[in-house]
Amino acid sequence: MEDFEPRIVGFLCNWCSYAGADLAGTSRIQYPPNIRVIRVMCSGSVDSVYVNRALLEGADAVLIGGCHMGDCHYINGNYKARRRMVLVKNILKTLGLGEERIWVRWISASEGQRFADTVKEIVDETKKLGPNPMAKRWNV
């Protein structure tokens, strides 16, 4: 399992977390290249279907990144995202389908370091979990 490199799908909001990831890059902060970022307009626009699809398609971890509470560009999108992701995780937990692979982080546009640290943390934790068993199943 030593050479297992997790693949992470990240849904990052346009206004904060994506800009935070950008800042990490322009600031030349090193972070693991394991994350594939999908820019969305708001964390509140990430329906559960996208998160679950990433997981069922075999992503080893999924990150939903949004603005800090109170900072949402659309006023309350991240509050709604928070509830929705609680539900996503709750259902995955009941079914034992790997809710611990779903990550939610509020990262502002000025927190390049926090973004880099988050990715590093997810990679470390996911390495402990091992590959997503969904990835090689053919009958789901």
Partner 1 sequence: MKAYILPVKDKDPSAAVNEMLKGLLSSGEVSSVLALQETPSGKSAFPTMISDPEKLSSNVFAPILPVSTGTMVSKMTRVRASPEPVAVVLRACEMRALTELIKLNQADLANIITIGVDCHGTVPINTYSNYPGEKKPTDAVLGGEEKHLRTACLSCKDPVPSNTDLIIGTFGAEMKKELYIISNTEAGEKIMSGLDLKEAKDLKNREKAIEDIRNKKDKYRSKHIEEHSDIKGIDKVAEFFDTCVNCHNCMKACPICYCKECLFESSVFDLEGSKYVNKAKHRGAFKTPPDSLLFHITRFNHMILSCVECGLCEQACPSNIPLMDIIIPVAENAQDEFKYLPGRDPEEEMPMVVYREDEYEEVGE
**Token pair of 38 as six digits:** 């999908």
**For partner 1, which is the closer residue by CB, 28 or 41?**
41
CB of residue 66 to partner 1, shortest distance in Å = 7
**For partner 1, which is the closer residue by CB, 14 or 52?**
52
**For partner 1, which is the closer residue by CB, 1 or 140?**
140
CB of residue 119 to partner 1, shortest distance in Å = 15
**For partner 1, which is the closer residue by CB, 30 or 94?**
94
**For partner 1, which is the closer residue by CB, 26 or 100?**
100
Q: Give the binding site for partner 1 (CB under 8 A).
A: 48-49, 52-53, 56, 58, 66, 69-70, 76, 78-80, 82-88, 90-98, 104-106, 133-140
CB of residue 78 to partner 1, shortest distance in Å = 8
Cβ neighbour number for residue 14 with a 10 Å cutoff: 16
CB of residue 32 to partner 1, shortest distance in Å = 20
The single-letter DSSP state of residue 68 is P
Return phi, psi of residue 31, to 5°. -145, 160
CB of residue 2 to partner 1, shortest distance in Å = 22
The single-letter DSSP state of residue 21 is H
Secondary structure of 28-83 as H, E, C letters: CCCCCCCEEEEEECCHHHCCHHHHHHHHHCCCCEEEEEECCCCCCCCCCHHHHHHH
CA nearest to 14, candidates 90, 94, 139, 109: 109
Contact between 107 and 18 under an 8 Å Cβ cutoff? The reply is: no
